[in-house]
Amino acid sequence: MKRKIYDELLNWKKNNIDIPLMVVGARQIGKTYIINEFCKKEFNKYIYINLFEDKNIINIYNEEISSTEKFQKLELYLGKKIDLDNTIIFFDEIQESEELISSLKFFCESNRPFKIICAGSLLGVKINRFKKSFPVGKVRILEMNSMSFDEFLYAYYDNDLMIKEIEKCYSNNKKMLEPLHNKLMELYNIYLIIGGLPASVANYLEKKDMLIFDRNIIKFIISSYLKDMNKYVTDIFESTRIENIYNSIPSQLGNPSDKFQYSKVKSGARAREYESAINWLLSSKMVFKCSNIKKCEKPLKVFINNDVFKLYLSDAGILSYLLEISYKDLVFDEKFMYMGIIAENYVANELLRNGLSLYYWNSGNKAEIDFVLNINDKIIPIEVKSSNNNQAKSLKVYIEKYNPDYSIRISSKNFGFENNIKSVPLYAVFCIK
């Protein structure tokens, strides 16, 4: 499957290959697949090392010897002298060895032409809880997420023609041809159920039939997330807190208070009890945070209200699965109350994949703007609707207060621009950059 991160890998090869690259992201999002493709296509020689499968290499790097000697021992273990000029080395599951992560400094500073790329699940957790000396400034970190909607479209059509048409309509505020608009909304609803996890997408694309789509794939991936958590968290109480927070997020998103509440995790719970657990989930890339801001002025980060925030799950399919929502619920039940929650979580993921920091704003009980973003050095409010509902009371309050250059309404409505509000269909959120 084509992934946008491939271009970033090419950029690393062209401009920063002397600095080891670390790809960070949750399990089962396609890190190993795309890095394998990159290494095979772009280099004459390629060595793949999986630390989860080969503990002997971990033992080599645990030895009390110099980094130069460790690499020599690695060559002996592999049974060959590595042609560094033409070879890239991919260390997969590198979170299994803090010593090897520390040795990335050696690879970076060496005069020899090392080409090192590494990846693994829970790398963010490992980095934030590093016991040894992390090679700050000696590693380039690249974040990867599950497949975005445009990546799903590319896989569905096996070309980018539809993506280019969406981008053209977005740029020109030109309506999409109605039959195409309807087809894309159908694919959007499918994506909300299958999500962007590559195994899930592949299962759907095999038959392109939601009646035989196997949701057990998502169930298995959620289980693998929790299994990883129990592996890397030694405190059983912290493990329980992490799992409780994760499982509470679907109901948290439906919370009328429009913020994460610890009392929804456990009665009487306090922030200090769960702060570490939330940080674990954020580092693992299993959840993402959207911070509340007190003022919608530049720089937005200065006005964060640290005690008020939302948490979103990292994949639309995971949220739909945890909510036990079916494809029929999305398509045939127009009054389905959780449609808005699923749409909001989907939009958050798409914006985040485009490198945008997530903020939201509210004004007491009068108004709430789902997302406030810095787009091309302009502060732009974004309102998300799951249908073509044009009522925008909150947006009106915001506009009267801050007078933005323009506003964005994301909904099932076709493209357009009216009353200084840019209408963006739900399937086109990937265009907002």
Q: Which range among 111-125, 258-272, 343-357 has the greatest average pLDDT?
A: 343-357
pLDDT of residue 390: 64
HSE on the CB side for 177, CA within 13 Å? Answer: 5
- Burial code (b: 16+ CB inside 10 Å, e: under 16) for 350-376 equals bbbbbebbbbbbbeeeebbbbbbbebe
pLDDT at residue 341 greater than cutoff 70: yes
pLDDT of residue 122: 79
Which CATH fold would you assign to the domain 5-143?
Rossmann fold (3.40.50)
Amino acid at 66: S
Q: Where are the domains of the chain?
A: 5-143, 216-431
Query: Which two tokens mark 243?
Result: 């799992």
- Residues contacting 126, CB < 8 A, separation 6+: 95, 98, 101, 120, 232
pLDDT of residue 342: 93
Residues in the chain, total = 433
Task: Kindly report the backbone phi and psi dihedral angles of residue 288, in degrees, each rounded to the nearest multiple of 5, phi listed first.
Answer: -130, 150
Phi-psi category of residue 224: left, alpha or beta, with phi > 0 → left and psi -120 to 50 → alpha: alpha
As a whole number of Å, the end-to-end CA separation of the chain is: 23
pLDDT of residue 388: 67
Q: What is the mean pLDDT of the chain?
A: 93
Label residue 124 by pLDDT band (50, 70, 90). confident
Query: In terms of DSSP H, where are the helices of 195-326?
Result: 198-207, 216-232, 236-253, 271-284, 316-322
User: What angle, rounded to 10 degrees, do the helices at 161-172 and 149-157 form?
Assistant: 140
C-beta separation of 52 from 96 below 8 A: yes
- pLDDT, one tens digit per residue, over 208-266 is 999 999 999 999 999 998 888 877 787 889 899 999 999 999 999 988 888 999 998 98
C-beta separation of 360 from 292 below 8 A: yes
Averaged over 344-365, what is the pLDDT? Answer: 93
Averaged over 47-51, what is the pLDDT? Answer: 97
Query: In terms of DSSP H, where are the helices of 25-139?
Result: 31-42, 55-62, 67-78, 98-102, 104-109, 123-128
Averaged over 393-418, what is the pLDDT? Answer: 94
Residue 332: strand, helix, or coil = helix
**Rounded distance between C-alpha atoms, residue 319 and residue 102, angstroms:** 36
Q: Is 37 exposed, middle or buried (0-12, 13-18, 19+ CB in 10 A)?
A: middle
**Rounded distance between C-alpha atoms, residue 347 and residue 36, angstroms:** 29
Percentage of residues in the chain having pLDDT higher than 90: 81
pLDDT of residue 131: 77
- Residues contacting 394, CB < 8 A, separation 6+: 366, 367, 368, 369, 383
Percentage of residues in the chain having pLDDT higher than 70: 98
**Rounded distance between C-alpha atoms, residue 384 and residue 402, angstroms:** 19
pLDDT of residue 332: 76
- pLDDT, one tens digit per residue, over 132-184 is 778 889 999 999 999 999 999 999 999 999 999 999 999 999 999 999 999 99
pLDDT at residue 335 greater than cutoff 70: no
C-beta separation of 221 from 197 below 8 A: yes
**Rounded distance between C-alpha atoms, residue 327 and residue 320, angstroms:** 9
pLDDT at residue 365 greater than cutoff 90: no
**Rounded distance between C-alpha atoms, residue 108 and residue 106, angstroms:** 5
**Rounded distance between C-alpha atoms, residue 51 and residue 95, angstroms:** 8
Averaged over 271-283, what is the pLDDT? Answer: 92
HSE on the CB side for 238, CA within 13 Å? Answer: 15
**Rounded distance between C-alpha atoms, residue 120 and residue 100, angstroms:** 13
pLDDT of residue 268: 85
C-beta separation of 7 from 175 below 8 A: no
**Rounded distance between C-alpha atoms, residue 362 and residue 87, angstroms:** 53
pLDDT of residue 389: 66
